[in-house]
Structure 1
Amino acid sequence: MKPTLIQGNIKRGILYFAIPLFFSNFFQQLYNTVDTLLIGHFLGDAPLAALGSTAAIFELIVQFCSGMGLGFGIVISRFYGARDENHLKMAIAESLILGFGIALILSIVSCAFMPWLLHVLKTPKSIYSMAYGYIQLIAATLVITMFYNLAACLFRSIGNSLTPLYVLIITSILNVILDTLFITQWHIGIRGAAYATVLSQAIAALLCFGLIHKKEPLLVPERKHFRIDPIIIHELLTQGLAMGFMFSIVSVGTIILQSGINPLGTNIIAAHTAARKWFALLVLPLGTLGATTSTFVSQNRGAKQWERIEQGIRFCIHFDWIYTLVLTVIVFGFARSMIHLLSGSTNPIVLENGTQYLRINIPGFVVLGPLLTYRNALQGQGYKIYPLISSGIELGGKIVFTLWIIPTLAYFGVILCEPVVWSLMSLQLWMSYRLIQGKRANPFD
């Protein structure tokens, strides 16, 4: 019998869920990494800088959709752990309605304010039109992003992380093909990367919902489940918006930080873009265990298995530390080659600054791993305020660095920002988790 998150060996159960989730996240990240690689190698440093100048905006709007999906999934996981099929299907039905409405509103607002936001970010005039063409298309299609993330979270809420992986493998291959055609053959430019991403995510969403209908009847609500239940709607909205705003606050901080990076010039933007793409790939194991912790804690909370929750959290943190140690050794040896591989640049300013970013930020994973574990554990137990406080700390820290430290230290101030902020956030989340450790409140009891 395969291990699950609510019974059997804890380590095997977590890894059985986390490994497919990791590869799902990897292929999801591959969407943007392939964009970076092809644009850097075939279009040059200026288009690469244009892509990088929108990275924080992309992260803001997409991460909000991802956070909403994860928040909905936490509620659904809780009903699954409690074996409450009726409420589970009601939560799914209401998630579909809420997800569509929120994504549509967010898309309209994003498109309306995009020129203003690019101006606030001090996007260089030389790359403005390319940056605008790319990010406006992403913002206009957020309903697709929301429904893909929601479909994947439905599978994961019942412990199935394999099916979203299979879908992502297929659509990631499609994304690579489309990227190559649009950028290198049809010469659409940076906007072609956006077309490839949107088309691939649309197909991924259709495949996921098709497989749900065919393979997972537990996740298919009937007409009777599409009715208003104030308690479930309240829990979905509070959990979903808490996750969405938590991710958004983090992304707002990144946008503020980007406003300090953009005036440093296209070479620094290109260096930061390549380094951040590597960061996004290398942090995936930590993020994956964090997301696994959320589902693990939520299911076991529904089953009232409190000691099992503690054991799972300890395992995730120990895994984070071992991974950080191994990765730090690798990065110190190969960081410069990694930046060149992804950016295609031979410019020493790009290579040296990108290398320095990796060599300082990657060892910071020693505090980032526990941060993600505790934050997701708190979310999984239904506590929404403490993770939001941590996001507020991150936002405040990035404002301080952008206004006072980066003007003095230039890009080195950017490099120092996140490790310092992570340390403060990790301390706050650890203290918060210990503070509420004895609480066993469940709004559905």
Structure 2
Amino acid sequence: METDMTRGNPLPIILKFTLPLLMGNIFQQLYNMADTIIVGRFVGPDALAAVGSTGTIMFLVIGFSQGMSTGFTVLTSQRFGAGDENGAKRSVANGIILSSFVIVLMTVISLSFMRTLLRVMNTPGNIFEDAYTYISIICMGIVANVFYNLFSSYLRSVGNSRIPLLFLMFSASLNVVLDLIFIINFKMGVAGAAWATNLSQGISAILCICYIYKKVPVLTPKRNHWKLNASDTTRQLSVGIPMALQFGITASGTIIMQSAVNLFGSAAVAAYTAANKFQGLVLQGMVAMGQTMATYSGQNYGKGDIGRIRHGVRLVLWTEVVYSILSSVIVCLVLPYALRLFFSGDVDITEMLPWAKTYIYLCAVFYIPLGFIFIFRNTMQGCGYGLLPMLGGVVELAARLITAGFAIRLLSFPLACACDPAAWLSAGVFTTLSYVYIMKKVEKSRENKGLV
């Protein structure tokens, strides 16, 4: 079920590959939404706020680990596009070994400093212990999360986006069932939600491993491949480290934003959490399109067809503009109804709605530059360039830091909510200019080598 993205009309190929990714991303979001909805309805709004207050930390820890391991798969995509099967197998084994080191390191670091981080983030006292319990258990499951994303990324690197979707659909459904059992039957509270997530993602990882071993020989290393290769390690780290830092830097900015939101109490945190989860679900099309462009550009870069990369990007940008406009309309119209999913009937939604509307209405205006970030960033990373995408994360961090600083100083909730739009607009401009620069650099390099 591998897909060669170096031939044929780009847009149909890209959209066909994106659809399973979109569905997979939606189910991935349902992991977290199931936690927040079930916790909010069956444990209470304070428990929902506790889970929501750790979302940015979760993005930091898990995102950093995922960014590193996902970066390792770019080399596999390039070698598959170039027809180098032995090199692809070697890169798979090398990536697994490197990811194992990342898992151990991130697990130890995250568990060691979690309480300190929660205090720095101004986590409200009435939700502190629940927040610590939830995020600590999530960090214990970094191994499941990283290996699922690593192996599903390996499958996508050779053009297979359907199988990860099927496994994710199964495990997302399992996550909901386990949430209900652990939270309602076993009365485990937020701990039950965290363990349900870890177990479900662990099963996804195992299913991916079994499928690769039996059905995808190009991704199945042989015994002689299971050792660190100096050249592969250098190339994988050169992409993986910037991708991890990009996630880490972006997450640091969202942590600063969460710190500003936390100042307004658990009701504001709960409303913001629900609105953010709903928005994240609607925007998964952007994420999926970006993931597709990483594979598309990786394969075509490996083949040396830079013109095809440019053509594909132009087509996808117009698709993203249309998607962004539709998403803006949807989130604004559906928000009042979506918010009710997260709270039981005894919670006054009219108290939550003004907080949620402030965040969503500000964000909806800036979906187009956010879409550009996903397209350009993933395209550059697929071509093996990680530094400028990482610096785009630095721009996001700076924008959020400045906006959050004013929000905290002025005690302004709208300014706290504006952290995301400020980051998207500034990083969108920076990433667009970076893409133009990188493409010119790639074409000039190939001209100098006489490859054009």
TM range (shorter): over 0.9
Give the conservation status (yes or no) of the 8 Å contact 1:36–1:343: no
Match of 1:375 in 2: 377
Q: How does 1:3-402 map to 2 (within 5 A)?
A: 4-344=4-344, 345-402=347-404
Name the TM-score, length of structure 2 as normaliser. Answer: 0.95
Give the conservation status (yes or no) of the 8 Å contact 1:268–1:349: no
Deviations 1:129-161 (A, max 9, x none): 111111111112211211111111110010000
Give the conservation status (yes or no) of the 8 Å contact 1:89–1:219: yes
* One-letter code aligned to 1:252: S
* One-letter code aligned to 1:424: S
Q: Provide the secondary structure at the position in 2 that maps to 1:7.
A: coil
Per the TM alignment, residue 401 of structure 1 is displaced from its structure 2 partner at its CA by: 1.6
Give the conservation status (yes or no) of the 8 Å contact 1:274–1:343: no
Match of 1:407 in 2: 409
Distance in 1 (CA, whole Å) between partners of 2:402 and 2:191 is: 34
Give the conservation status (yes or no) of the 8 Å contact 1:375–1:387: yes
Per the TM alignment, residue 7 of structure 1 is displaced from its structure 2 partner at its CA by: 1.1
* One-letter code aligned to 1:299: Q
Distance in 1 (CA, whole Å) between partners of 2:39 and 2:73 is: 35
Q: Provide the secondary structure at the position in 2 that maps to 1:436.
A: helix
The CA RMSD measured in Å over matched residues stands at: 1.7
Deviations 1:186-217 (A, max 9, x none): 21101100010011011111111011111111
Deviations 1:363-415 (A, max 9, x none): 31111111111111111122221111110011111111222234325210122
Identity of aligned residues (%): 35
* One-letter code aligned to 2:73: G
* One-letter code aligned to 1:110: S
Distance in 2 (CA, whole Å) between partners of 1:267 and 1:405 is: 18
Give the conservation status (yes or no) of the 8 Å contact 2:253–2:396: yes
Per the TM alignment, residue 289 of structure 1 is displaced from its structure 2 partner at its CA by: 0.5
Distance in 1 (CA, whole Å) between partners of 2:342 and 2:363 is: 18
Deviations 1:74-97 (A, max 9, x none): 111001101111111111111111
* One-letter code aligned to 2:238: T
Distance in 2 (CA, whole Å) between partners of 1:90 and 1:297 is: 21
* One-letter code aligned to 1:111: L
Deviations 1:84-118 (A, max 9, x none): 11111111111111001111111011101111111
Distance in 1 (CA, whole Å) between partners of 2:439 and 2:218 is: 32
Distance in 2 (CA, whole Å) between partners of 1:4 and 1:85 is: 14
Distance in 2 (CA, whole Å) between partners of 1:156 and 1:338 is: 32
Q: Which runs of 5+ in 2 are unaligned?
A: none
Distance in 2 (CA, whole Å) between partners of 1:129 and 1:313 is: 46
Q: Provide the secondary structure at the position in 2 that maps to 1:264.
A: coil
Per the TM alignment, residue 330 of structure 1 is displaced from its structure 2 partner at its CA by: 2.4
Using a 3 Å threshold, how does the CA distance of structure 1 residues 245 and 43 change in structure 2: closer, same or farther?
Answer: same
Per the TM alignment, residue 343 of structure 1 is displaced from its structure 2 partner at its CA by: 3.7
Give the conservation status (yes or no) of the 8 Å contact 1:108–1:140: no
Distance in 2 (CA, whole Å) between partners of 1:308 and 1:134 is: 45
Match of 1:436 in 2: 438
Distance in 1 (CA, whole Å) between partners of 2:146 and 2:423 is: 29
Distance in 2 (CA, whole Å) between partners of 1:343 and 1:307 is: 50
Give the conservation status (yes or no) of the 8 Å contact 1:77–1:157: yes
User: Which moves more between the two structures, 186-195 or 398-407?
Assistant: 398-407
Per the TM alignment, residue 2 of structure 1 is displaced from its structure 2 partner at its CA by: 9.2
Give the conservation status (yes or no) of the 8 Å contact 2:301–2:383: yes
* One-letter code aligned to 2:212: I
Distance in 1 (CA, whole Å) between partners of 2:216 and 2:124 is: 49
Using a 3 Å threshold, how does the CA distance of structure 1 residues 347 and 406 change in structure 2: closer, same or farther?
Answer: farther
